[in-house]
Amino acid sequence: MSETLFSKIINREIPADIVYEDDLSLAFRDINPQAPVHLLLIPKKAIATINDLGPDDRELVGHLFVVAAKLAKEMGFDDDGYRTVMNCGANAGQTVFHLHLHLLAGKPFGWPPYTDRMKQA
């Protein structure tokens, strides 16, 4: 996998507002937030998309969700609710091809999530 914006954040080549880090993952604030709280949780292992996951990545993906729940609790929005999203591919809205989990909170969310975009298509 070629170097991405997220790998540069992991390597501290570009700055980010990092809110969490451990041996497997990193979480930071999205520079284009779609909610009052919008964090990106990324594995330190370079994986481009969900399609590139293998059986050995089960624990890593599960770890991202465990970290999301931990951050929700620590930041105080676990009881109010939050959304997690993992896009796969350009048509799904993935713009950085390094696996990442969006953690969004701080406002009510509708369903389906992209109703306005669907009307424009």
Rounded percentage of the chain residues whose pLDDT exceeds 90: 87
Domain membership of residue 36 as a residue range: 5-120
Determine the Cα–Cα distance for residues 70 and 57; give it in Å rounded to an integer: 20
Question: Quick one: 73 exposed, middle or buried, by C-beta within 10 A (0-12, 13-18, 19+)?
Answer: exposed
Residue 67: CATH number of its domain: 3.30.428.10
Question: Quick one: 99 exposed, middle or buried, by C-beta within 10 A (0-12, 13-18, 19+)?
Answer: buried
- Please give the pLDDT value at position 90: 94
- pLDDT digits 0-9 by tens, 23-73: 999 999 999 999 999 999 999 999 999 999 999 999 999 999 999 999 999
Catalytic residue annotation? 100
Determine the Cα–Cα distance for residues 57 and 55; give it in Å rounded to an integer: 5
- Please give the pLDDT value at position 120: 47
